[in-house]
Amino acid sequence: MTAQPALIDPFGRHVSYLRVSVTDRCDFRCVYCMAEDMTFLPKRDLLSLEELDRVCTAFIDKGVKKIRLTGGEPLVRKGIMTLVESLGRHLKSGALEELTLTTNGSQLARFADELAGHGVRRINVSVDTLDEAKFRQITRWGDLPKVKEGLKAAQKAGLSIKINAVALKGVNDTEIPEMLRWAHGEGMDLTLIETMPLGDIDGDRTDQYLPLSVVRAQLMDQFTLEDIAYKTGGPARYVRVKETDGRLGFITPMTHNFCESCNRVRLTCTGTLYMCLGQEDAADLRAPLRASEGNELLNAAIDEAIGRKPKGHDFVIDRRHNKPAVARHMSVTGG
């Protein structure tokens, strides 16, 4: 196959990272991500697993080197391992450097061995608290012991784990030092994430918003944080914690806009491509995908979309902006 031209956006950034939401469904209802009573998409609107593979392959042919599967919760998508196995062929050929996923951990005990067998080497797992009652409160439906069981299964399968925790004022802010010691003590990285204004949820985000600049300053009272150049392809900035010899990441869309180095686009489970998590502009890839057995229309739609990738997002959280910057829920775009 003739190599497609690389994906270069209007600001000279090479798009090499595709995040793919394989489902909008989830077995949790995290308070900062979803409303409790969610209306999910009808199955006919979703791309089939074969169609997801075809779109991912088109992006790989255009130079995408990293694919992250997300949801909702990706491991609740029926037959998801067939997609993971199929995409694994690009790892074997060397066309794809990394296939990874973000999960809530609830299904890891079931799938960890298969993920590792298909070439996944690293996963992100969302855990916002180590308090079982609080975990249930944040996730509404989650079971922390089951998640911890999944983490052990993943490590046994040889997967590297990064714990993602959304920093929430008045919820888990006092737990962050404990979470740091726990993650590093278990051989896992920890990344802290600022809450983002996406989707109408039950509650006011301004009450929960916690700038990570404040968290970092508080951590420095107990820990020695050394800036390091480590990167995973995403937006996190990392430090090494001298006392634990572990890595700590900060994702700061609010206090420190990281758009200048953005190398990512996001595909939803319906085939909608978002060039920016914080903008509504999007491109429909489902129609060109289904209009032809060849990929000419699909490739043209991808190129046109990348040509519209914006310079940055419009996120802001304060009392004057207590409506979401973007109406869709985080679970729709896949984080």
Is the pLDDT assigned to residue 262 strictly greater than 70?
yes
Look at 225 and 11; give whichever has higher pLDDT. Answer: 225
Does residue 199 have a cis bond before it (omega within 30 degrees)? no
Q: Is 162 annotated as a binding residue?
A: yes
Q: Is 68 annotated as a binding residue?
A: yes
Q: Is 262 annotated as a binding residue?
A: yes
Q: Is 17 annotated as a binding residue?
A: no
Least reliable range by pLDDT among 74-88, 168-182, 197-211 = 197-211
Q: What is the pLDDT of residue 313?
A: 57
* Residue ranges per structural domain of the chain: 17-333
- pTM value is 0.87
Least reliable range by pLDDT among 30-44, 116-130, 171-185 = 30-44
Is the pLDDT assigned to residue 331 strictly greater than 50?
no
pLDDT confidence tier of residue 246, bands split at 50, 70 and 90 = very high
Rounded mean pLDDT of 204-228? 87
Report the C-alpha gap between 65 and 18 in whole angstroms. Answer: 8
List phi, psi (to 5°) of 191. Answer: -125, 130
Which residue is listed with tokens 């909702």? Answer: 72
Q: Is 261 annotated as a binding residue?
A: no
Q: Is 259 annotated as a binding residue?
A: yes
Return the structure tokens found at 141: 């439906």
Is the pLDDT assigned to residue 107 strictly greater than 60?
yes
- Reported as type and span, the H/E element at residue 156 is helix 144-156
What whole-number percentage of the chain has pLDDT above 90? Answer: 65
Q: Which CATH class is domain 17-333?
A: alpha beta
Look at 101 and 324; give whichever has higher pLDDT. Answer: 101
Report the C-alpha gap between 99 and 118 in whole angstroms. Answer: 9
Q: Is 264 annotated as a binding residue?
A: yes
Look at 211 and 114; give whichever has higher pLDDT. Answer: 114
Q: Is 72 annotated as a binding residue?
A: yes
- Long-range pairs of 48-54 with CB within 8 A, sequence gap ≥ 24: 49/22, 49/77, 49/79, 49/80, 49/82, 49/83, 49/86, 51/271, 51/286, 51/289, 51/290, 52/20, 52/22, 52/83, 52/269, 53/83, 53/86, 53/87, 54/289, 54/295, 54/298
Rounded mean pLDDT of 8-18? 92
Helix (H, G, I), strand (E, B) or coil at 209: strand
Q: Is 33 annotated as a binding residue?
A: yes
Model confidence over 149-196: pLDDT tens digits?
999 999 999 999 999 999 988 989 999 999 999 999 999 999 999 886
Is the pLDDT assigned to residue 321 strictly greater than 70?
no
Q: What is the pLDDT of residue 29?
A: 80
Return the structure tokens found at 54: 């075809």
Phi-psi region of 207 (alpha: psi -120 to 50; beta: other; left: phi over 0): alpha
Is the pLDDT assigned to residue 314 strictly greater than 80?
no
Q: What is the pLDDT of residue 281?
A: 82
Least reliable range by pLDDT among 54-63, 153-162, 314-323 = 314-323
Q: What is the pLDDT of residue 257?
A: 53
Dihedral through CA 290, CA 295, CA 300, CA 302, nearest 10? 80
Q: Is 142 annotated as a binding residue?
A: no
pLDDT confidence tier of residue 334, bands split at 50, 70 and 90 = low
pLDDT confidence tier of residue 22, bands split at 50, 70 and 90 = very high
pLDDT confidence tier of residue 322, bands split at 50, 70 and 90 = very low
Q: Shortest CA distance to 306 belongs to which of 5, 9, 34, 79?
A: 9
Rounded mean pLDDT of 239-255? 89
Look at 313 and 73; give whichever has higher pLDDT. Answer: 73
Q: Is 102 annotated as a binding residue?
A: yes
Q: Is 269 annotated as a binding residue?
A: no
Counting Cα atoms < 13 Å in the Cβ hemisphere of 55 gives 31
Q: Is 30 annotated as a binding residue?
A: yes
Q: Is 126 annotated as a binding residue?
A: yes
Residue 168, Cβ density class (10 Å: 0-12 exposed, 13-18 middle, ≥19 buried): buried
Q: What is the pLDDT of residue 333?
A: 53
Report the C-alpha gap between 225 and 236 in whole angstroms. Answer: 15
